[in-house]
Amino acid sequence: MKKEVQQPVQPVPAGETWRQRLVAACLAGVVKVWFGTLRVEVRDESGLGAKPPEGGSIWVFWHNRIFCVPCLYRRVTRGLTPGAVLTSASRDGAQLAAVMARFGFRAVRGSSSKRAAQALVECRRVLRGGAVLGITPDGPRGPRYQLAPGVVQLARVTGVPVIPLHIRLHAKWELKSWDRFQIPKPFSRVTAVLGMPFEAGEDIEAERERLEGILRAGTVD
């Protein structure tokens, strides 16, 4: 049986600027307090939320649903499983990595355009360590709700299951960003569903379309 160990808070990543530290600390604090006001329902249809497989798993969710993910993750896993997120190698990605570190997440930096090969190696290492790797497959710059093939390729080479995470905010504000970033209104309801595990087949494009269809089917704007 997999030994469950309390997830340690990750150290502040090297190279953070004082501005990134300040912004990250403020944002993380706001998110924690804000999330505490929400009425959250979690349904784990995957059966892998509280006890992910020893070889790791990949959670996929749309970029505009990130707000609730750190606190949802800690609630589902009870803080017993190490977590990591794939963020871009851009300045925005560095800031997101700084925020996620305050929730105990390790960041893997890279995208299809920057550090792709290094990111793939780091993702495989993280998954072999039994972590859950969070990926926004339409990030970092879209198009919105269009799944890039990278997550399917990663699932193929690692053999780990992909868990679609559907998040519905029943009352929200929507920003005028490329992804129409969603922020739940305080004291509103949030429904989160961990869908059935997705295992990628041989045809990357066909599997990309299939996984995108699954995520889109669970999307309520």
Q: What is the pLDDT of residues 24-39, one digit of tens each?
A: 999 999 999 999 999 9
If 0-12 CB within 10 Å is exposed, 13-18 middle and 19+ buried, where does residue 36 land? exposed
Q: What is the pLDDT of residues 115-128, one digit of tens each?
A: 677 888 899 999 99
Domain boundaries, the chain: 18-217
Q: What is the pLDDT of residues 183-195, one digit of tens each?
A: 999 999 999 999 9
Token look-up 């989160």 returns 192
Q: What is the pLDDT of residues 141-194, one digit of tens each?
A: 899 999 999 999 999 999 999 999 999 999 999 999 999 999 999 999 999 999
For residue 114 the two structure tokens come to 């920057």
CATH entry 3.40.1190.10 includes domain 18-217: no
* Higher local confidence (pLDDT), 202 or 112: 202
* pLDDT interval class at 14 (50, 70, 90): low
pTM higher than the cut 0.85:
yes
Pick the closest to residue 87 from 111, 70, 105, 104 (CA basis): 111
Taking each helix axis from N to C end, the angle separating 18-36 and 69-77, rounded to the nearest 10 degrees, works out to 60
* pLDDT interval class at 113 (50, 70, 90): low
Report pLDDT for 141. 86
* pLDDT interval class at 15 (50, 70, 90): low
Q: Is the pLDDT of residue 4 over 50?
A: no
> Strand 83-87 and strand 105-109: pairing?
parallel
